[in-house]
Structure 1
Amino acid sequence: MVGFYRKAVVILLLMLVNSPSAFSRPDMTPLGPSIADQGSSFYRFKTYKVESADTQRHYKIWVAVPNKPAPAQGYPILYLLDGNSSLSRLNESQLQGISEKNPAVLVFVGYDTPLPFDLKARSFDYTPIKRDASEGSSMLGRGRIGGGSTIFRSLLEQKIIPQSEAALPINQAQRSLWGHSFGGLFVLDTYLHSTRFSHYFSASPSLGQGFQFLVDDIQEQTKNPATLKLMVGSSQQARAGVAPAIDLLPRVAQWQKQGLGISVVNYPGLSHGAMFGASLQDTLKDVSQ
């Protein structure tokens, strides 16, 4: 049964990686007031803004702090990419459910825009430089430029994390990072290149857009105490004739043998886009247990 489950997960991952329809343009309707604007009985919100070193990208950060006292070891904390859109999916009922357990501080890392996404900025920030020279080192689809993940990670670690956690009792052994699509790529890349997070949640990472080398790099990990959860939708399984680019089955087994804390969660019937909300809600519950 375990072997069957692993094989099914591998097939679903490969279909996700190779599905050209998985990365359709998101809804860009301007957002209305969020729970941060409306106020909550269970969390208090503060916001601040930062910009990139080259002043070309402008960020808005929402920090949500539980109204419940911190445990002795400090609050767990979760950083959420695509903060505008992820914050827009949060409501008072969800915050109440989280607050009844061990609520985490929530940091929504977004952009200074009324739109759900800053497509140009996130394309640069969330993607590493490609390694296949034939694909180009930084060009992505629709004329967008990528390859800025190292620069963005430096901003995250040197400015956003310290400013978000200032004067808060934080349990640094329970610092998590969640991202979807290109954000999921950034989570994988950060898992490989950072020690600032203890738990990583990568939802529908866009590996098939020239970033499969991240899987190879995970294979080279010899010791990483952090946990990594790959969250994968499976609606692409109905697509026929999709040839796998890589065989992940031996890789999954190898990761387990290496003692890496990597797991895969399957979401039957969910598309790439639907995985945003589903993985977000499960991650919020996970970090607030």
Structure 2
Amino acid sequence: MLICLCVTPGVAHVQERPAFAPTRGERLVGETVADHPTAYYRFEEHTLDSADGKRHYRIQIGIPGTPVPAGGHAALYMLDGNAAIDTLTDQDLEWLSRRNPPVLVAIGYDVPTCNDVVSRAYDYTPPVIEHGQALARPVVRGRIGSGADVFLEFIENRIKPLVRARANVNGGEYLWGHSYGGLFALHVLFTRPESFSRYIVGDPSIWWHEGVLMREWEVFDKPRAAGKRVAILVGTKPREGGRPAPSSLPIRTSSGATLDSRSAAREIAAGLLAHTAAASYETFPEQGHGGMVRVSLERALQIAAEP
């Protein structure tokens, strides 16, 4: 059935970024919850490099201070890990500790800012297939993309084994992503759905490269999503000054229909629900794209803390 959850009381709420501030990706990350161990969580930091040596990752693993449940902890893998850790609060960790706390895995980049926008653009975007051939270096907004399959292999072969070696994880593995991270999460669901059991998707950038993700959706064998929990969360607050958002860019389906990112996300949720996935689509009229980072991460924490 369609699932709708309310924002958890006691979890900090998002504040709009002042117009003069740097973008989220450019903003320096100061001290975070990972720098102050508590009775609720302790954090470890690990650095890893991509196989080609071009991308450098900071993996922060938050291990609950509560006793390990009989079946092991669940693990919440958070893309845009620097920004995710910067968003978490002590109150979040305390709230989790009183429920079924998951291991928190922040997959970020080894940079002082919230993001490495060049690496992120490559890692989080799907292959582009034209005339049966994959484009070698598709460029959107001046950045090379289509490294999502390489990045997924990196998660499966390097990050998950690291997490399992450091924490008792046997209770399910969940994936949260926002924007390009949400695009990546849906790509994983459509290509290797067994990789995670729950997907929490915030404001996915389905518009990327003229909506190439929708072609994956159209050929996806929908029953493979059976039993998956998929929450799609979308902010619908208009941009200031009436400026068009990327989410309004037209996406053409194989049937000739034209959608925008929000309509496409709604169609995906409905299609998943029809094939027995526990899927939901929820809009937040008071939140713009940036605000959905906090909102969707809150929801991911709630879902990850469920028994």
Give how far 1:265 is off: 1.8
Q: 1:125 maps to what in 2?
A: 123
Show structure 1 runs of 5+ residues with no match.
Answer: 6-23
CA distance in 1, matches of 2:40, 2:155: 26
CA distance in 2, matches of 1:72, 1:165: 16
* Number of corresponding residues: 266
Q: 1:226 maps to what in 2?
A: 228
Give how far 1:251 is off: 5.7
Which structure has the highest helix share of the two?
A: 1
Q: 1:107 maps to what in 2?
A: 105
Give how far 1:72 is off: 1.0
Deviation sequence 1:237-260 (CA, Å, 0-9, x none): 996996773265766544333223
SS in 1 for 2:129: coil
CA distance in 2, matches of 1:274, 1:159: 31
The equivalent position to 2:181 in structure 1, one of 176, 180, 183, is 183
One-letter code aligned to 1:93? Q
One-letter code aligned to 1:60? R
Deviation larger for 199-208 or 136-145: 136-145
One-letter code aligned to 1:118? D
Give how far 1:141 is off: 3.6
One-letter code aligned to 2:103? V
CA distance in 2, matches of 1:80, 1:150: 17
1:79 maps onto 2:96 in alignment: no
Give how far 1:165 is off: 1.5
**CA contact under 8 A between 1:233 and 1:269: conserved in structure 2?**
yes
SS in 1 for 2:200: strand
Higher relative contact order (CA 8 A, sep 6+): 1
**CA contact under 8 A between 1:131 and 1:137: conserved in structure 2?**
no
CA distance in 1, matches of 2:239, 2:114: 28
Q: 1:43 maps to what in 2?
A: 41
Give the structure-2-normalised TM-score: 0.78
SS in 2 for 1:215: helix
Q: Which runs of 4+ in 1 moved over 3 A?
A: 24-27, 136-142, 236-244, 247-255
**CA contact under 8 A between 2:180 and 2:204: conserved in structure 1?**
yes
SS in 1 for 2:74: strand
CA change 1:31–1:240 in 2 (3 A) is closer
CA distance in 2, matches of 1:82, 1:250: 26
Give the structure-1-normalised TM-score: 0.83
CA change 1:126–1:197 in 2 (3 A) is same
Give how far 1:212 is off: 2.5
State the Cα RMSD in Å: 2.7
Q: 1:154 maps to what in 2?
A: 153
CA change 1:167–1:58 in 2 (3 A) is closer
**CA contact under 8 A between 1:49 and 1:59: conserved in structure 2?**
yes
Q: 1:65 maps to what in 2?
A: 63
**CA contact under 8 A between 2:109 and 2:116: conserved in structure 1?**
yes
SS in 1 for 2:43: strand
Give how far 1:233 is off: 0.7
CA distance in 1, matches of 2:161, 2:126: 23
Q: 1:215 maps to what in 2?
A: 214
CA change 1:64–1:200 in 2 (3 A) is same
- What is the percent sequence identity of the aligned residues? 31
CA change 1:60–1:187 in 2 (3 A) is same
